[in-house]
Chain A
Amino acid sequence: MAKVSIRLSGVSKRFDHTVKGEVYAVRDVTLAVAEGELLTLLGPSGCGKSTTLRMIAGFEEPDAGTISIDGKDVTHVLPNRRGIGFVFQNYALFPHLSVFENVAYALRVQGKDEASIKRDVTGVLGLVGLANYERQQPHQMSGGEQQRVALARAVVFQPKVLLFDEPLSNLDAKLRVEMREQIRSLQKRIGITTVYVTHDQEEAMAISDRIAVMERGQIVQDGTAPDLYYKPKTEFVARFIGRTNLLDGRVLSAGEVEVEGQRLPLSTGRPVGSTVRLVVRPEMIDLAAANPGEPGTGRVLQRTFLGEKTDYDIQFGNTRIQACRSDAFRGAAFDVGAPVRLKFDPANIHLLA
């Protein structure tokens, strides 16, 4: 791994909850972000990802643990001395300042001279595609434009680290895709270490070098998007990233598992007779026509045509299976109520711990 830029060691944060008493928002989080890397904290709302981010920024102080940036302990350093660019979900543009003054803010605080402020602000506004917006007031702009101003404002003073707190949640779906590509390309161009918070797994997979999935204040798994998708460590990760089928199987022998009456060649390394949980993604299941009453088949409950693919809901023994097919290469569709044979490729089955 490259040089570490941000390091969290054993960081915890408690809050007083009015009903539940003292609760952990973040519990014993240890994390390292490499220089120039974009790491995403992904999780459902209330999992502690924003609190973690806000502790890196210095808006919150941890109750335990340390945070360091570029090898310097900043656990108790005020936010204004950390050199961090922060992009907020609600943009947080200063409503009384023009676009130019919003972006120039950090430079003015640093006491830069007028000429270099002008140069830097113009440059960074060009970078985010807002070259002629200098004189606009924030409230005259669309949400996407406002977020680009916020982005320009966060990078103009060349911070060591860039933090994003659900920056795209307030934008509509199409704009979200556009903006996340823009954020990613800007981040790569200036090569800045970035921590990005989102609850949207697709966004996380699209933008990140690495993703840390959080659940109830803890990081449950971190890795690249394919790691998380193909090799989830827990049921939570499997369910949170993409669509998934969880199947219970019984180990028949060293190289064979039984699932809903089907024998699959799969070496688990588990004792014979023990139960295992298997993760199978919908697109990994091949479907074939079958005769009614044939063993090891399922029945189509629902069919949803989505254009590039068709989703199937299938009753398979005691479980409901989601499967999908790209019709272009695989022939005719299956009707609701029709028996189908499910074909599992052992290479694409992941065994949960």
Chain B
Amino acid sequence: MAAASSAQSSHSWRRVARDPVLLSTILVVWVLLALFVVFPLVELLARAFVDEGKVTLGPLLEIVSNGGHRTALANSLILATAVGIAGTALGFLFAFTAVRAGLGRHWLTLLDAVVLLPLVSPPFTTSISIIFSFGPKGFISHDLLGLGNVSPYGFWSTALAETLTYFPIAYLTLRPILAAIDPNLEEMAFSLGGSRGRIFRTVTLPLAVPGFANAFLLLFAASLADFATPLILGGNGFPVLPTEAYLQITGLFDFKGGAVLSLVLLVPAAFVFFLQRYWVGRRTYVTVTGKVGQRSRTRALAPWAGVLLVAGCFAVAALIAYFYGLLVYASLVVAFGANNSFTLAHYHVIFTEGLPAIRDTLIIAAIGMPLGGFYGVLVGYLIARKNFPGRRAMELVAMINYALPGTIVGIGYLIAFNDPPIALTGGAMIIVACYVFRYSPTGIRATVALLQQIDRSLEEASSSLGAGSGETFRRVTLPLIAPAFFAGLGVVFIRSMTAISATIFLVSISWTLITVRILENMTELALGPAAAFSVFVIVVVFIVVAALSAVLARFRAPTAGTAARSFLGG
């Protein structure tokens, strides 16, 4: 009986209609989704494909026939593939080491911290460090290797920066899958006489295959949508679609061209999204039972292999640590590479000249955080717990802005809210709305995951004790899904501090963002303030994440851990 579900749509309508709180909540959510998800997308499509009231593919054909744009598309796909493969390999290295190498708890924590650092950093951090390291006056290229006049720009540096930035996604995807592979399986194969290498090939790797596919697709999508890294490191020789679209709009004021270019990006992005969600996402051999036996250090891993894995991880971790150390160092010297004397001038700059950007960013993050957290919990609750017509559609629509590359969302908002009836461009609200609807889906998913673990009978109990749906939500559901709420808050805050791909189209003279200022500094070659801004953002994000983690730790519920994980995974 529990397995079957009632599908009486006429009944669910009647039920919803008798519950005014539920009905009005659903309507409000739909109005918001229509306004901030559907409307901008429709406007974007209309701008791209409608000419003087007629649907036309002219602009699309024009773009596609342009050799430069075709190169950009090809570059985007090549880059995404490279980052997908390299990032998955790196993520596997770290995940496998964490799960099987038998490291102590403190080493694991350290490894985790280094791995997660790139996820909470502003987008240019690695890029700045790469320029510092491999530029004409770079620390590695010039000072260590004595090379003159090398260019840090192009495919390789972009791929390296994106790989280091996004491989944590692969790590977070693969680690639970590897952890759920019972070491007994490997040891059993070992006891049957298989060599260690053979066991790895015939047992471990095949079980992890769905995880690989999933990690690759997630990285592919992330790289495809990445705007900041190629903008800094791609240079003239390596254009990709998001930067082309950006230049089309900001350089040529060609909204139509920008819209069409961003939509070309949509095709592979949508393909990957559906592949990930409906194909790979459902194929996992590993069932997580929650039954954790005594896990001794597995003997199926040869000692030398363990050493090699740990060494590999620490080499990569050292590279990341070096990049961040370099960033801090560069923010504290007059001009990196030319004049290495200590100064606080760059910090002085960001807290005087840069203060408006800091203030605006914090205000926007502070407004967006509670709104996004609440919205995520509310929609997650409706999707997971309420049976109303259009529930699936709501779930899908709520995910759209999250799944779309930021460039598309940004251009869509720019076009949709530039003119009446809803002119928001230039204000803070458009940026807040962009963050809320783009980054709350993490909170939505955390809420749904948490609710799936909370038995439905709790809400039925509340209902039988006289509480209506609103009161049940407030008294029972909300306290129980608080961990998801705080996770949602965290993600919206982190992204408000670090995102740029969508919001770069939405900033104005009166409202700007730290990330946009960093970009401006980079293009003016004011690398010192750029580094100081980046350090500031990293510090603020770490403080907030630490505070939220402390709050999450107060929830004894075993489910809090799941929500905390989703913190950074989104």
Contact = CB atoms under 8 A, between A and B. Distances in A.
Interface of A: 14-18, 23, 25, 46, 48, 50-51, 57-61, 63, 76, 78-86, 88, 90, 92-96, 105-106, 108-110, 153-154, 157
B464 interface: yes
Contact of A78 (B3, B457, B468): B468
Contact of A94 (B7, B8, B19, B458): B458
B70 interface: no
Nearest to A46: B1
Given A93-B461, A154-B465, 15 more contacts: A15-B5, A59-B460, A61-B8, A61-B11, A76-B14, A78-B19, A79-B463, A80-B466, A80-B472, A81-B466, A92-B455, A106-B466, A109-B465, A109-B466, A109-B475
A15 B6 contact: yes
B164 to A, nearest CB: 41
A90 B466 CA distance: 20
B457 A88 contact: yes
Contacts of B19: 78
6 contacts: A16-B6, A78-B15, A78-B19, A79-B464, A90-B455, A92-B461
A103 B376 CA distance: 31
Interface in B100-148: none
B484 to A, nearest CB: 14
Most A C-beta atoms less than 10 A away, residue of B457, B461, B471, B557:
B461
Interface in B476-498: 476, 479-480
Contact of B461 (A23, A46, A63, A88): A88
A85 B6 CA distance: 24
B419 to A, nearest CB: 45
A75 to B, nearest CB: 11
B468 A95 contact: no
Contact of A57 (B460, B472, B480): B460
B249 interface: no
B1 A15 contact: yes
A79 B459 CA distance: 11
A59 B462 CA distance: 11
A106 B557 contact: no
Nearest to B454: A95
Contacts of B18: 76, 78
A18 B5 CA distance: 9
Nearest to B5: A16
B550 interface: no
Nearest to B555: A96
B67 to A, nearest CB: 52
Contacts of A18: 3-4
B523 to A, nearest CB: 51
A94 to B, nearest CB: 6
Contacts of A108: 475
A136 to B, nearest CB: 14
B467 interface: yes
Contact of A25 (B4, B15, B455, B460): B4
A86 B464 contact: yes
Contact of B465 (A60, A61, A95, A105): A105
A4 B137 CA distance: 93
Contacts of A14: 8
A28 B368 CA distance: 53
A69 B472 CA distance: 24
A90 B455 CA distance: 9
Contact of B480 (A59, A61, A95): A95
Contact of A86 (B5, B15, B460): B460
Most A C-beta atoms less than 10 A away, residue of B5, B8, B14, B464:
B464
Most A C-beta atoms less than 10 A away, residue of B11, B460, B468:
B460
A15 B15 CA distance: 17
